[in-house]
Structure 1
């Protein structure tokens, strides 16, 4: 290769690094998309990119290879454009000598084209090369595992992904922590493992992986993936309705990175967490600001279903359920693999769809969704939605029983009754049964609101107890949307039970009148009064509601 003037090449590469490689659109106060590295770590990273540029300008490809081998993830994060230019200058023979280098080029191309998966034509030779070694380097084994995990997630094989992650974690505990390249690659590997666990619905395990990502990335020198670990951990908290905890992990102001950077691919979790926090704390202005930052890369990404979840929440807050319901129904049709009934995404989004139907007053449609086969029975979002369905049908005992049963069988600390929405619903059920004042359920609901900031949960509280919950939580009262209208506890009189039994047996009003020995007009009046009490609009509705009431 012809050697050009070294200083001009070097200056061009460094200029790309300093001015072009990490351009960003500013929202709020100007700031980098990533959580800022400490000043000494920023300066060290700048020097690293300059060293890489100098080695490439000298055509010292062995030095380039050594630098990338030890700190590739850091280089890719700091300036994928500069790394792309360096690799574009390298001779073909350099790539042919070591499949790791060809994989690095493919990884850069994936980032620059905003793709989450690397070209298999580069991954397969690399995996074969690593597999043929008697004692492969730990970082190479982990990169192979990470690429396999990404393939599982691409094809929505979340169970396989979860099992593979468990094997990866066991492998990590068996290798020296100071092995070459481990400090560079471990944050990326742990982050990928956490995403896999999140998509498999194992939120406790996902949180553990993201916490480990932060710990690894916070070592000396600080790794830039610390911001991604924080954003992903915030997303887990937000999905569990712990909005205050999620907000504490996010920077005060957010900057969207330009496409073609690692930041643009990995910051999406933090962006979605910010959106859920804004909606969950009833910050409409904050939610509007985040919605304006959403682009197709978020909607089409592996976490894109969480955007649909947020839109459903917003539909409830705005008391406009149908637009969000239509979007969900279409999403189920176009993404059947990602939203299967047994999947975490499928369970959460079906709970959302049922909640929207409940808000629209179509309880029969909500019941049909909640009765979908293979839905995980102990999934907290579904449990809360089923309990709310019972409350909407005037069955507070059934609502409490659902929450109690899930708590007894739940395998983690995040049982539905201890989430803010479940706690408020449980207190509302007790209130409907005649409990008043300072019950333990009321105190739990208030403390959940205070601790987690989940004002959205108050939508499930009847107006009669909202003031008490605000007072117990030490908050000033504010307007809370009320998308659902809860039935008072349904108790039928002996005469109403007779009418219901006749309605069950006969379809025609004349037949009901004859069975009860009354006139058709009187029978019609009694049937209409029964419909009103049950919240039914037809004979079929009344029989369906009566079935759930065990009438």
Structure 2
């Protein structure tokens, strides 16, 4: 018996036993379209996706939506093969765009899984509503629901088919679970199903392989890959299944698969063949042209794409490409990006199809991005186009030249502009060249470029204000490197006048410019000894909000403030600021971004004053290298100061003298740097037995530099000039700025003078006050340098209690939180010079003065001078006492 369903006007379809055997066109049904696709041996079952698909049995509609090659079909087939309920599988083809053909195949798929027959359409162009109603009724009446999987559903483009499918799904009730496997968004009211909780969705992000899954997949292909290498491959492929499989197949033919997977050229691989055939060639000419042109961009929006194509149709094309999963990823707010591999292949294809166009596309992109305010991308595309005037002009006009010195992008910008050739001759390119040279402390090239830019920017036009403000910043840096306060002050004054001509939002967006300028100004003022003026500028920088762009100036300003506190005698304050400077550098991602390490230099100097010599040496070793080029005066002087003090303490006087000079040429001399250099030279003369020369070196030291003055007074006293020592102390201006390192040394000098004058009461009072002030700062060096006169005083009960536990052996006070964990064995061991130690060793061997002189190849008078120094340091008057005392102190 022959039955007909559907439109009566169409031809009937012959059937065998009531089951049609052909579609409405009369073509026999293709059985392969109803078969579950076979899974290859290298197929990896991913349990997380299978578990998610199991939710399809609880919702009427499931959507598996992803790009070509995402593994959608194999995932659905593997899941369907494991179900215990009826599964109807249909692989949709292009001919199914006609409703009659589509439904004929759907009904045949349902029959193939045992669902009852309700007929079949007889007209390829349409389907009778009664047939669909009958199908829905039949499904709704089933005891066991059927799962209908429509693979490659994106080939169905007729809106009426989507409407009919939604009608059947709605009226089939619990009898049908529909699974759509597609590359595109189906024309179904997904929002209603989603809102009702009746939709299961698996999309591209979930379909992507994780690094661990990639490792398992590659193992199935016979490849062993580390998780980090797999993660890099996943990043490049975005976890795209086909990309991973094709890469694995190619890697098996390589001698070093891991290197191949890391470095393979996408445009010369089977991945390129897949994407060109499956994606690019499926697009219209206009769409292909757009994709090729935007491939030069990391990201793009419709307006930017239009700028590259000189058309106006990018908006609908990009929206459609994203909707159709055509390897165009939506970033939000109308911005898109290409899949990394697709982008690589398109760029290579662009060079073949449109040779020579790539630089012009970069140029168009740079100009659009500059107009739209996207500075980082403007610079990248300007550089790629070789349009350095555009790139440098954008950097300068945006007031962003400070980013060449500080911030997360400083290294990238330096690398980018390193490719700039001599053909770029605009003022902006000269400013960038000057900035790059000065950042390397290359003054000659930096200043010549800066002068050339300034000559071309002599016009007072308001639109040049940003460039001239950039000049002021570079002038301030040049002034810092040359130690020239007048130049720095002129640059700061010029910057103040220019700010009113610059758009306020640019100053807000680039706080690094003002912070850098003030740091340079503060550094020059500190060099010149204008401590309070320096503090004002540097404190302003420290008070700016923290961030990557201000990390360098904040670190350097904190370091300079730490040095300033140290020079004023405040060790604790200096240490706290120096530690903050180091922390600022570490938060910025580099332990020493400035290259000067001024914070660590201050910490080293503080460690010497606390007699923590190992720590001091370690800190100096961490800052052993200066940046190439001209030394920065303040850090150079700071290094000289800390190094020389450490060498003096260790008895290496000659080496200390060599290290004391910062070896920098500056426009003006630094009073504190010169003062400390004189102190080291004087101390070296004194250690080598030349007291008169020691006193002579200190003639220029005055009370204007309190830290230098008190140390100079101590040397004058040791050289036998008590009156000069007291006069020097009396000349010190005390305006509340002098910290314990100054006051303690001054008190000890006055105490020794009182002791020598027979005023023991005054001496004990002064030593007691010194101990109280020093204990808070853990300041030990002044007591160790004082000599033997202080030991009897410290042995008295009252003073011994003040010194015990942090300066001399003894139980620490419970309430004293400044006591260090490890204490010196006695009132620190006496520090002898190397030559003094040589003399003392021979003294212990009972050698005569003449024998010692002959053994050391020095004169007898030189040996006598060293012996006097040894006696003074050990607080003895005879040879035997010196040897016994040295053994007690474990010097022998």
CA distance in structure 1 between the partners assigned to 2:497 and 2:764 by the alignment: 49
Partner of 1:404: 730
Partner of 1:127: 454
- Counterpart of 1:314 (choices 646, 660, 664) is 646
- Counterpart of 2:761 (choices 414, 436, 448) is 436
Residue 236 in structure 1 maps to residue 564 in structure 2 = yes
Alpha carbons of 1:198 and 1:420: their partners in 2 closer, same or farther (altered >3 Å)?
farther
Partner of 1:445: 770
Q: CA offset at residue 301 of structure 1?
A: 3.8
Partner of 2:513: 185
CA distance in structure 2 between the partners assigned to 1:349 and 1:186 by the alignment: 33
Residue 288 in structure 1 maps to residue 613 in structure 2 = no
Q: Encode CA deviations 1:135-176: one digit per residue, 9 max, x unaligned.
A: 477665554344334444544545x35754784697699899
CA distance in structure 2 between the partners assigned to 1:168 and 1:423 by the alignment: 46
CA distance in structure 1 between the partners assigned to 2:719 and 2:761 by the alignment: 21
- Map residues 103-114 of structure 1 onto 2, 5 A cutoff: 103-111=431-439, 113=440
CA distance in structure 1 between the partners assigned to 2:739 and 2:501 by the alignment: 35
Partner of 1:270: 599
Partner of 1:422: 746
Q: CA offset at residue 123 of structure 1?
A: 0.4
Alpha carbons of 1:341 and 1:192: their partners in 2 closer, same or farther (altered >3 Å)?
closer
Q: CA offset at residue 425 of structure 1?
A: 2.9
Partner of 1:388: 714
Alpha carbons of 1:423 and 1:212: their partners in 2 closer, same or farther (altered >3 Å)?
farther
Retained in 1: the 8 A contact 2:595–2:626? no
Retained in 2: the 8 A contact 1:403–1:416? no
CA distance in structure 2 between the partners assigned to 1:220 and 1:63 by the alignment: 22
CA distance in structure 1 between the partners assigned to 2:542 and 2:515 by the alignment: 7
Report the secondary structure of 1:148's partner residue.
Answer: helix
CA distance in structure 2 between the partners assigned to 1:142 and 1:248 by the alignment: 34
- Map residues 126-275 of structure 1 onto 2, 5 A cutoff: 126-135=453-462, 140-157=467-484, 160-161=486-487, 164=490, 167=493, 178=504, 180-181=506-507, 183-218=511-546, 223-251=551-579, 264-275=593-604
CA distance in structure 1 between the partners assigned to 2:668 and 2:419 by the alignment: 46
Alpha carbons of 1:65 and 1:370: their partners in 2 closer, same or farther (altered >3 Å)?
same
Quick check: which has more Rg, 1 or 2?
2
Residue 480 in structure 1 maps to residue 828 in structure 2 = yes
Alpha carbons of 1:463 and 1:132: their partners in 2 closer, same or farther (altered >3 Å)?
farther
Report the secondary structure of 2:761's partner residue.
Answer: coil
CA distance in structure 2 between the partners assigned to 1:357 and 1:152 by the alignment: 35
- Counterpart of 1:349 (choices 663, 666, 677) is 677
Q: CA offset at residue 133 of structure 1?
A: 1.2
Partner of 1:84: 414
CA distance in structure 2 between the partners assigned to 1:218 and 1:272 by the alignment: 23
**Superposition TM-score, scaled by structure 2 size:** 0.42
CA distance in structure 2 between the partners assigned to 1:451 and 1:383 by the alignment: 22
Report the secondary structure of 1:106's partner residue.
Answer: helix
**Superposition TM-score, scaled by structure 1 size:** 0.64
Q: CA offset at residue 248 of structure 1?
A: 1.4
Q: CA offset at residue 427 of structure 1?
A: 3.9
Retained in 1: the 8 A contact 2:404–2:414? no
Alpha carbons of 1:308 and 1:420: their partners in 2 closer, same or farther (altered >3 Å)?
same
CA distance in structure 1 between the partners assigned to 2:454 and 2:667 by the alignment: 30
Between the two proteins, the alignment pairs up a number of residues equal to 436
Retained in 1: the 8 A contact 2:435–2:474? no
Partner of 2:637: 305
Alpha carbons of 1:377 and 1:226: their partners in 2 closer, same or farther (altered >3 Å)?
closer
Q: CA offset at residue 399 of structure 1?
A: 2.8
Q: CA offset at residue 459 of structure 1?
A: 2.8
Alpha carbons of 1:134 and 1:234: their partners in 2 closer, same or farther (altered >3 Å)?
same
Residue 456 in structure 1 maps to residue 781 in structure 2 = yes
Greater shift, 342-351 or 476-485, is seen at 476-485
Retained in 2: the 8 A contact 1:201–1:343? yes
Alpha carbons of 1:103 and 1:291: their partners in 2 closer, same or farther (altered >3 Å)?
same
Point out where structure 1 has 5 or more consecutive residues left out of the alignment. Answer: 12-47, 486-531, 537-551
Q: Kindly report the root-mean-square deviation, in angstroms, between the aligned alpha carbons of the 2 structures.
A: 4.7
CA distance in structure 1 between the partners assigned to 2:501 and 2:778 by the alignment: 42
Q: CA offset at residue 447 of structure 1?
A: 4.1
Retained in 2: the 8 A contact 1:322–1:360? no
Report the secondary structure of 1:413's partner residue.
Answer: coil
Greater shift, 473-482 or 169-178, is seen at 169-178
Retained in 1: the 8 A contact 2:740–2:774? no
Query: Which structure features the higher share of helix residues?
Result: 1
- Counterpart of 2:657 (choices 300, 311, 325) is 325
Q: Encode CA deviations 1:406-461: one digit per residue, 9 max, x unaligned.
A: 23xx6672389844433443344344442438976445423432344432222343
Q: CA offset at residue 210 of structure 1?
A: 1.8
Q: Encode CA deviations 1:347-397: one digit per residue, 9 max, x unaligned.
A: 22112211222233321111221235xx55632244223311342245556
Point out where structure 2 has 5 or more consecutive residues left out of the alignment. Answer: 1-292, 300-336, 339-373, 809-823, 834-867, 873-892
- Map residues 24-39 of structure 1 onto 2, 5 A cutoff: none
Partner of 1:379: 705
CA distance in structure 2 between the partners assigned to 1:363 and 1:185 by the alignment: 51
Report the secondary structure of 1:225's partner residue.
Answer: helix
Q: Encode CA deviations 1:273-330: one digit per residue, 9 max, x unaligned.
A: 23212222222221221232343526944232332222221123213323223555xx
Retained in 1: the 8 A contact 2:518–2:541? yes
Alpha carbons of 1:286 and 1:386: their partners in 2 closer, same or farther (altered >3 Å)?
closer
Retained in 2: the 8 A contact 1:388–1:399? yes
CA distance in structure 2 between the partners assigned to 1:275 and 1:384 by the alignment: 21
